[in-house]
Amino acid sequence: MEYKTIQDTIHGSVKFKGPFLELLECPELQRLHNIIQLGLTKLVFPGANHTRLEHSIGTYGVANKMAVSLDLNEEEKNLVMAAALLHDLGHPPFSHTLESILENATGMDHMDVTKEFIIGKRSIENRDTPLIPEILERHDISPERVAELVKGKDETTTISDFGIHGNQKYFGEDKYLYQMIHGSLDADQLDYLLRDSHYTGALHGVIDIERLLQTMEIHNGDLVVTKGGVPAVEGMLVARGLMYSSVYLHKTARIAELMLAKAVASFDNGLEEVYLMTDCELLSHMRDNGGFPAEMVELLKYRRLYKMCFSLELDKLSTSSVDIESLGTPDGIRKLEKKIAFQCKISENDVLVDIPHKEIKLSEPRLNKTGVKVLDEGRLYDLTKYSPLAFALQRRTAPYWGIMVSCPNNMIDKVRKASKKILFSHS
């Protein structure tokens, strides 16, 4: 059988053959070659120029190793590897940067779009390859099952619709296939932590992936680790928390992303089309729009970023006069930005408000979850029984701020005063 070996920076040689070699040539997957994995984080960590395609290849490679280690049968292995390779197809330009505003405008997140690509409801028209579901079906891989592993269970689908072999099911009693893609120890995390740590130079993301693979088992339909794997799991959870604090939610990177997101949110229409663009195509589209979007492109191009002028820790938000819960949406944030701008007599485009805790739940719902089961002498226990660290990580907040206000450098003083006045108007 024809195969291709790709030399990956993190995992070494990754072999593609059969359906996976065909999928690799699809324009939907190749589009990810032009989407930076960490969005505008490269403005803080200059080495972070790796792409979503690199991450997809790495996740596929990790899923392959997991499948071999767990001794999955051929059908299960193909399902998991296909889901791992295709799991990020729906990412818009600059990865998670635009996720919140696009979901608010279209009602779809990147996993919804990914599912549409996999089942053929959406595709890139200019192509010389078959559609993704055609490739999968030709190799006896169900597009619907792959999509469910990526997106999760459709509430209209019954558990019995997803038998793999015999009476096993991976939604219901047996969840290990889904957990390999979207669990506390999934292939996605095992790749992105190592990859992002390598390219940013932040060593917080180093994890013992080989030990994790050696200690993973399937027990009563769940993906678990044996007691000997607890230190490696602790290391991964700590690495994840630290990478969010020091890299993914770095305040300067967040400001750059907010600048881009606000410019895109100002489009009169066409936000649905953004999902099919690459990073360069979006920037070109913003220039063509002129006005505020074009201005933001120039500022980002030369790293002339807004500056933080005010922030408040998450545990101190209760002292504010503003209902933060009602502001945890793009529309709510825009209202607060308008209020501050009106107080300062400046354009609302000059004010950025970041309330990240709800957005994090959208981009990384696993962040504070430590739901790893530990197998010890035939019985399952929660990780917290063996690890005080796991309990602490459940309570840890990733960003040090609950709300952050930013603006151009020459407006810092007046925007700070207005922000304090509005947020503490009751006192």
Q: What is the pLDDT of residue 250?
A: 93
- Which of 122, 120, 152 is closest to 133 using CA atoms? 120
Enter the tokens of residue 358. 């709800």
Q: What is the pLDDT of residue 424?
A: 82
Q: What is the pLDDT of residue 328?
A: 65
Range name among 259-273, 284-298, 366-380 with the lowest pLDDT average: 366-380
CB atoms within 10 A of CB 37: 25
pLDDT tens digits, 96-126: 999 888 998 899 999 999 999 999 999 999 8
pLDDT tens digits, 344-367: 999 999 999 998 876 665 555 555
Q: How confident is the model at residue 167 (pLDDT cuts 50, 70, 90)?
A: very low
Domains of the chain in start order, with CATH, are 3-159+170-249 (1.10.3210.10), 251-360+401-423 (1.20.1250)
Q: Give whole-number Cα distances, 88 to 92, 147, 151, 183, 223, in Å.
A: 9, 11, 10, 16, 22
pLDDT tens digits, 32-70: 999 999 999 999 999 999 999 999 999 999 999 999 999
